[in-house]
A and B are shown apart, each in its own frame.
Chain A
Amino acid sequence: MIDFEPKAGPFAHTSNTSSRIMYTVVLTLLPAALMGIYQFGLASLQTILVCSVIAIVTEYLCLKLMGRAANACMDGSALLTGLLLAMSLPATVPMWLAGFGSAFAIIVGKQIYGGLGQNLFNPAMLARVMLLICFPVEMTNWAVPTPIDFSGNQVAVPQGWLQFDGVTAATPLSGLSHEPVSIVAQFLGLGGGSLGETSALLILLGGAVLLYRRIIHWAIPLSFVLGLCVPAAIASLIAPESFSSPLVQLFSGGAMLGAFYIATDLVTSPTSVRGQLIYGGACGALIWLIRSFGNYPEGVAFAVLIVNAASPLIDHYLRPSVFGSKSMARKS
């Protein structure tokens, strides 16, 4: 059937869709997630499943309630939110906590703002911060990595204090580590930490795929890493005993996940390249500040939320310059 009704072009389109973007991101996250399962045992698989399923179910209910097309719950964005939340939780959080966080992420982090594309804050990080504040004990219950290959019984060492990453042997962030884990081990993901944050290598690989597929732009990861490493390098040069080195900063905690997956969240980051440079840089620098001087040894979630809040402002003030506006300025 030929459609003769006039309509504005173009009459050609990429085959790329939002859904495809979301699922690609999910796919590239899977290696790091699998690494988490390998390290922390089946409990982490449970966490991942609970978060993902609850996220999708909550999204479905919200869409139904609001009278929207409910099949949009399968567009991949809810799944991604759930997965990202799971990746940033300690491996052994109770199931109810994971589920609660996931539902919170979808309802308060996303649907309250009006759904996909409207939210100001990264839903997964919002939920993580909420959980950290409301359930500090459970949220800092760090598991010692016990790769399932080697021992069937998983050991979880409950620790009561409020420090974020400072539980297992791998606590380079708190600056108190007696027995520092080698940077190589951290890079490969043999240190402790949240479920999916441990292997910088796998996250880097996933990020490389995203960059290659042009799903994320290089501006945010690059400026993020610089924002984190430059102050860290200066500080550790001046006072090596009280500041950890830039590589330690980069490969520990959620920094890598933050640089490639969280700060780059499409919805909550600025769109122009200039804006992204500022945004990423500010995020990295904030993480370093929070880690070095704040009460929490880890600051990715906080830093991301803070720069999220600034993102609309950045988009407003740092628009790309309109073609020809420079030569116009020269003329006048």
Chain B
Amino acid sequence: MLNLLSRPFRGGIHPESYKTLTNGSGIDRFFWPRNVFLSLQLRNGATLTPLVKAGDSVTRGQLIASGRNDMVAPLHAPVNGIVTGITPHFSSHPSKVKCDTIIIRANSDRRWGETHPQQNYLALSSEQIIERVREAGIVGLGGAGFPTVVKLQFARKGGAHTLVINGGECEPYLTCDDVAMQEYAPEIIAGVKLLMIASGTKKAIIGVEDNKPNALAQLTSAASEDDAIEVRAAPSIYPMGSERHLIKFLTGAEVPTGGHAGMVGVLVHNIATARAVYQATRFRRPLVSRVITVSGKGIGAPRNVEVPVGTPVNEVIEYCGGVKESTSRLLFGGPMMGQVISSPYIPIDKTVGGILALTDDEVKTREQTECIRCGQCVRACPMGLMPFQMAAYARLSDFSKTEELGVNHCLSCGACSYVCPASLPLVQYFQFAKGSINANRLKAQRSATARALNEERVQRLEREAAAKAAAKAAKAAARKARPARGKVKETEND
């Protein structure tokens, strides 16, 4: 009960962490892929235009595809090698759709293609930093994959005052941010300074869960010279890494329901993103690789490994000792919010923070029973929702009621499903409901647009008809008036 009172926010759970599988051994930097697959379509459907063709040889860091606007981050070659083709291949999307993909056969040369002189990066202006971030194709590495440049510009325009750096990493198993903080603390702090300059924020708070004491110590010492950067330990409670909840804990501000962090003057970036910004600004190195956690009891030799973007899952897993017989699920990301890997040939993209091979023992799939209204889910939900009620309505396909209960505010964090003693697939119901609500809204929007267009057309026709009629009447009047006038004239003339 005591820890109930001292909770940083309502709800939340303490899932088994399994972090010790990988948090002690540092980053493995020796992996190198044979082929990389760079999808030209992002998860949200936006496409990129390739700047290379089959047979071209490319160098590491070379720009190979660009997007239409800032919402689509450009792609760079993560390895030196030869483009073997631009053909349809699996993307990271779980639906296994194939989209056009640049395939590069890598050679063993790991050097960057072009080296730039180092910069006195702290002397750069906000615009210059933003430009570098744009060039480097940096996206949020915490999972959402939103282009960093867009976030920075929003924050500048919106007058954000606080930069929150998310080192929560509350998902079980994942330790890639943890080890990055331990090994790259100075780079991260430099990146934080750059982000502050770029976004115009005056203060930065780095929140790290207190189950990472080494990372906390490293960051604290690296940040000790700068008064504007504060490193804070946050209690380990899932989902501490959720943007809203971290902001609430660190600044006390509550992001309004349905709103975003900018509304309370906060900009949130991930630890790994901060480091990427440093690399991009100081060395002009684009984002072409990232540290991921390869873990789970199904993995032969769990570890954190730096992998070039576009490496297919099977190559990484092979490198980490392969999977064991008992593996029942492969996942991108953590077990709470991660996504099923639907084929071992799927390449990792910039947003993937981990590959997990979980055994049945860990997943604990059980037969679903009836809801006993125990209220565990209600007390676990960090958003203050009533999961069992929403699920009941979603099951009945009563989506308006589900929406009324707030399903759109659901983070899909999975805390409710995790604690449910009846093993109900609550999140699945909510995603289904959200999907249907969205589809309905789109339909409504479309028919509203159609209706508006139609109305407009009717009005236009009416207007035209009226104009025509008016013109006709005017003409008729003119016709009538002319002889009259003529008469008048005549009479005048008379």
Select one of A11, A325, A328 contacting B338, CB under 8 A: A11
| A67 is an interface residue with CB less than 8 A from chain B | no
Q: Which residues of A contact B330 (CB under 8 A)?
A: 2, 4
The answer to whether B15 has its CB under 8 Å from any CB of chain A is: yes
Q: Are A322 and B378 in contact (CB under 8 A)?
A: no
| Residues of B306-357 whose CB lies within 8 A of A | 323, 327-331, 335-343, 356-357
Does B341 contact A14, Cβ atoms closer than 8 Å? no
Counting residue pairs across A and B whose Cβ atoms lie within 8 Å, the total is 187
The secondary-structure label for the interface of chain B is loop
With A115-B370, A116-B370 as given contacts, are A11 and B335 in contact (CB-CB < 8 Å)? Answer: yes
- A12-B336, A271-B388, A272-B378 known; A324 vs B244 contact (CB < 8 Å): yes
Instruction: Among A11, A320, A321, point to the contact of B358 (Cβ < 8 A).
Output: A11
CA of A118 to CA of B343 in the docked complex: distance in angstroms?
41
Residues of B within 8 A of A151 (CB): none
B328–A3 CB distance below 8 A: yes
Q: A6-B340, A327-B264 are in contact. Are A72 and B369 (CB under 8 A)?
A: yes
The reply to whether B386 and A272 contact each other, CB–CB distance below 8 Å, is: yes
User: Given the complex of chains A and B, what is the CA–CA distance between A297 and B435 in angstroms?
Assistant: 55
**In contact, A8 and B427 (Cβ under 8 angstroms):** yes
Contact pattern, A 177-191, Cβ under 8 Å of B = 1, otherwise 0: 000000000000000
Of B254, B258, B405, B421, which contacts A14 at CB under 8 A?
A: B421
| Inter-subunit contact B337/A323 (CB<8 Å) | no
Check: B383 CB closer than 8 A to any chain A CB.
yes
Q: List A contacts of B365 (CB < 8 A).
A: 13
Interface centre among B257, B328, B418, B421, by most A CB within 10 Å?
Answer: B421
Interface size in chain A (residues, C-beta < 8 A): 51
Among A16-24, A141-149, A224-232, the stretch that binds chain B is: A16-24
State whether A21 touches B374 (Cβ < 8 A). Answer: yes
29 contacts across the A-B interface (CB closer than 8 A):
A4-B340, A4-B342, A8-B412, A8-B428, A9-B417, A10-B336, A10-B417, A11-B358, A12-B335, A12-B358, A12-B362, A12-B363, A13-B363, A14-B418, A16-B421, A21-B374, A116-B369, A117-B373, A266-B372, A268-B373, A271-B378, A271-B379, A322-B257, A323-B9, A323-B383, A324-B244, A325-B257, A327-B254, A327-B264
Which 4 pairs across A and B sit closest by C-beta, in order of nearness? A271-B375, A10-B414, A328-B256, A8-B428
A residues within 8 Å of B by Cβ?
A: 1-21, 72, 75, 77, 115-118, 217-218, 266-273, 276, 315, 319-328, 331
Contacts A12-B336, A323-B257 supplied; 4 other A-B pairs, CB < 8 Å: A10-B414, A14-B419, A272-B375, A322-B257
